[in-house]
Amino acid sequence: MMFKNFYNRFFPIPSFLLASSFGLDISDQSLKFVKIIAVRGGMKLDKYGERNIQPGIIESGKIKDFKKMKEILSSLKKEENLKSVRVSLPEELIYIYKVKLKKEELENIREAIEFSIEEHVPLQVENTIFDYEILNEDMQNLEVKVTVIQKNIVEDYISVFKSSGISVLSFELEAQALARAIIKNGDLETCMIVDFGEKSTGISVVSDGSVMFTSTINVGGVMLSNMIQKSLKVTFDEAEKIKKKNGLQHNDGNKEIFSVLLNGISVLRDEVAKHFLYWHTHKDEDGKDHPLIKKIIFCGGSSNLIELPEYFSAGLKIPVEVANVWVNFINKKEYIQELSFWQSLSFATALGLALGDFHYN
């Protein structure tokens, strides 16, 4: 089993499987799933859901308790009549780089890439699995994006799914699935995606429809709730409600909450600003400037903070928006099940995985 592009290149998906698609987004804390079915004139969100993953079962994307993870997947298979899925792999386990291959010296693309892996990744080539995407081509060269992960990590995921009786059609970079869900098909502008989750935040840059950079930081919505809980001496659940109700509104009735949240959200702003600056001040592998980031898109379950886009836009001097996960759906009102806008932000990755079966790049 390889990544999505490689797997589908050699093993095309039978047309009968495209009648429905099941995307599965796995993190350290939860498992989110989405099923999309084909309907006349478009697609329909058939079902969605979430299962908690107890601490210690998965840590930093790595399966630590095989038995309990198998139990979770086996239960999901039974409850949802699950047969095959598309699964995301977390960014912190994956390396991405670009390499230019000279055509006159090129006999086999994969063999040529293998020679480049140890120059760009702190892993021995025999311990990796990789996929590639051709970005540009001229008479002399191929410009290729390479995605690399440790072989044993993928093998662990394959093994736990196989033991649960679930077929994995593909593994895919989480950020690429996100991009497919929230960037309008055909939009090739460069943008930054900030996946603001419960305990961590993924930052990625997408250009020409392809993920070119990813990073993960240990800042999430739970940290903000903990700060409110400590400051106001309330329960965690009460802190969550206060956070969602007040957000970053800067008014007389919200001064204390705004001050508390600002201390935490400024950490995230500084990290986003650092990655934004890095992208624009460092050259690519050919010594050229990276294309300018035109906007920042927030998604993830913690991005429902009131006035979050306005705060980041003012600080970074760039358009900032909250994602629309339905941007690539047809006949939205007719085919989207009852799922609130804010809820949908938590399911963006799972939706993007499922959309991969409907010929979105």
Average pLDDT of the residues in 172-195: 92
Q: Do the Cβ atoms of 312 and 295 come closer than 8 Å?
A: no
> Where residue 332 falls among pLDDT bands split at 50, 70, 90?
low
Question: Which of the residue ranges 90-99, 165-174, 227-236 would you say has the lowest mean pLDDT?
Answer: 90-99
Three-class SS state of 261: helix
pTM: 0.86
Q: Say which amino acid occupies 123.
A: L
Q: Is residue 316 part of a domain?
A: yes
CA distance 217 to 268: 9
Polymer length in residues for the chain: 361
User: Which phi-psi region, left, alpha or beta, contains residue 209 (left: φ > 0; alpha: ψ -120 to 50)?
Assistant: left
Q: Is residue 27 part of a domain?
A: no
Q: Is residue 317 part of a domain?
A: yes
In terms of residue numbers, what domain contains 221?
186-323
Please determine, for residue 121, whether its predicted confidence score (pLDDT) is greater than 70: yes
Burial class (CB in 10 A: 0-12, 13-18, 19+), 232: middle
For the chain, the domain total comes to: 1
Phi, psi of 218 (to 5 degrees): -90, 60
Please determine, for residue 346, whether its predicted confidence score (pLDDT) is greater than 70: yes
How far is it between the farthest Cα atoms of the chain?
Answer: 68
C-alpha dist (Å) from residue 1 to 155, 157, 167, 279: 9, 10, 11, 32
Phi, psi of 305 (to 5 degrees): -75, 125
Q: Do the Cβ atoms of 256 and 238 come closer than 8 Å?
A: no
* Confidence at residue 334, expressed as pLDDT on a 0 to 100 scale: 55
Q: Is residue 64 part of a domain?
A: no
* Confidence at residue 190, expressed as pLDDT on a 0 to 100 scale: 96
Q: Say which amino acid occupies 292.
A: L
Q: Is residue 341 part of a domain?
A: no
Residues near 208 by Cβ (< 8 Å), separated by ≥ 6? 135, 188, 190
CB neighbours of residue 54 within 10 Å: 10
DSSP 58-108: EETTEE--HHHHHHHHHHHHHHHT--EEEEEE-GGGEEEEEEEEEGGG-S-
CA distance 307 to 313: 10
Q: Is residue 25 part of a domain?
A: no
Tokens 């939009």 sit on residue: 187
* Confidence at residue 12, expressed as pLDDT on a 0 to 100 scale: 44
CA distance 248 to 307: 5
Q: Show the 3-state SS of 121-145.
A: CCCCHHHEEEEEEEEEECCCEEEEE
What is the tens place of the pLDDT at every residue in 34-53?
999 887 767 788 899 999 99
Q: Is residue 224 part of a domain?
A: yes
Please determine, for residue 356, whether its predicted confidence score (pLDDT) is greater than 90: no
What is the tens place of the pLDDT at every residue in 242-301?
998 988 988 777 788 899 999 899 999 999 999 999 999 987 777 788 899 999 999 998
CATH of the domain at 274: 3.30.420.40
What is the tens place of the pLDDT at every residue in 298-321?
999 899 899 999 999 998 999 999
What is the tens place of the pLDDT at every residue in 53-82?
999 999 988 999 999 999 999 999 999 988
Q: Is residue 225 part of a domain?
A: yes
